[in-house]
A and B are shown apart, each in its own frame.
Chain A
């Protein structure tokens, strides 16, 4: 019993050390653990593949900063690659301060020109719009009044032919949002989905999934990409293994570690309970 008491009161530094090892080891030595494909990944893939049609206007919104990058960046890269294989117009805008800088990092890995996309003709960046949901509402009411110039060249939006027919939220066919918090899906829903019926798919961090499910089950959210694991599954469906696949072994080992800690912690708790009482 004394062993269990010692185990129960184990110094947290040992727990931290083991956590560090179970995360770091698979990152340095990929284990190639199996990755089954979940329904979430399949729904996301099917939506981008079959529901986004040539000629559609896609609003891609990186709504996160550096703290969200470990979980959201791989799915943003994979989805961008998938979108670029289609003949759509892509508007990149963020209502999150660091969104444009995150997208700069993305462009170091994915060059739209490699897919035949020409800046200003097939895709455009509108940068960061301050003002949270108010800005989203204003953007939905009039894109040209809210954002007067593009982010890359600083030219008036009216000088880009692709923006001639894209004036309000009504002209956007689908919103692809990657987000860690507010503003996020509820705000998109209120400002775009409710007034215009705009389709939306959302990639979010694992802890936000619970709050997203009502939107998925009601059909308001067409697809949900919850966290890094599903990103890895999506990369496999895309046949373009990337950052998520590289990191998912560590997800497996760390989650297994947490599960074991819960089990061992509770066993030690129950087996020493009477002794302590």
Chain B
């Protein structure tokens, strides 16, 4: 029995069924299939929601070990676990006892801890970009010169001070954005879409097995 359950054909068959269940109702109006597809979608949402708990468990396992072994920076792990536990408990959907995402502690932590930390992480980019602008953006050859000039014009076009006195910069930036950039991105998007279709067909036919047991070896 266990050998039967471990057969590679079973997950492939499940993949094919799940995929066709979503694809067929998109093109054909078959109410029972549409209803089954919606039920399957809702099941996915439930699975994703359950995965949140796996995330919390994983965080506690990883950081718990670091605290236990007192590895370097273990006190940061202590903070991570502390805040994970506090936010998980205060955010529990039990409004009858004052717990929910509207809980004052939960919202205070979000506004006064998570928001400034997130903004700080984002702001640090400014330092990396300025350093890169000075050290890495070099016109070493024709290709890098084109990128450098286009990039600098785009940066300049984002500064109102410059576009106010040099409006042609905004016009050039708009042209770069609307023609070379768009043509390139369309190519990338069409290529990626064709690649996805090919991957889907290979998966449906059971040829692509990369998602199975790390390669689907028998």
Interface residue ranges, A against B (CB under 8 Å): 10, 12, 15-16, 18-20, 23, 33-36, 38-39, 65-71, 98, 100-101, 104-105, 127, 129-132, 134-135, 137-138, 141-142, 145-146, 151-152, 154, 195, 206, 209-211, 213-214, 217, 227, 229, 232-233, 248, 251-259, 261-266, 269-270
Contact = CB atoms under 8 A, between A and B. Distances in A.
Given A70-B123, A105-B115, A229-B158, A217 B41 contact: no
B164 A35 contact: yes
Nearest to A151: B101
Contacts, number: 180
Interface in B32-84: 34, 37-38, 41-42, 44-45, 48-49, 52
A5 B93 CA distance: 62
Contacts of A134: 41, 44-45, 48
Interface in B153-167: 155-156, 158-165, 167
Q: Is the interface of B mostly helix, strand, loop or mixed?
A: helix
Nearest to A255: B159
A33 B164 CA distance: 9
Given A35-B164, A130-B48, A138 B41 contact: yes
A33 B161 contact: yes
Nearest to B101: A100
A209 B177 contact: yes
A265 B135 contact: yes
B126 interface: yes
Nearest to A34: B164
Given A15-B127, A101-B114, A227-B158, 13 more contacts: A15-B130, A34-B164, A39-B174, A67-B119, A132-B48, A134-B48, A138-B45, A141-B38, A146-B45, A154-B95, A252-B161, A259-B156, A265-B138
Interface stretch (B5-13, B178-186, B200-208): B178-186
B212 interface: no
Contacts of A258: 129-130, 133, 155
B48 A210 contact: no
B15 interface: no
A-B pairs, 8 with minimum CB distance:
A66-B118, A255-B159, A252-B161, A138-B41, A34-B164, A261-B134, A131-B45, A261-B133
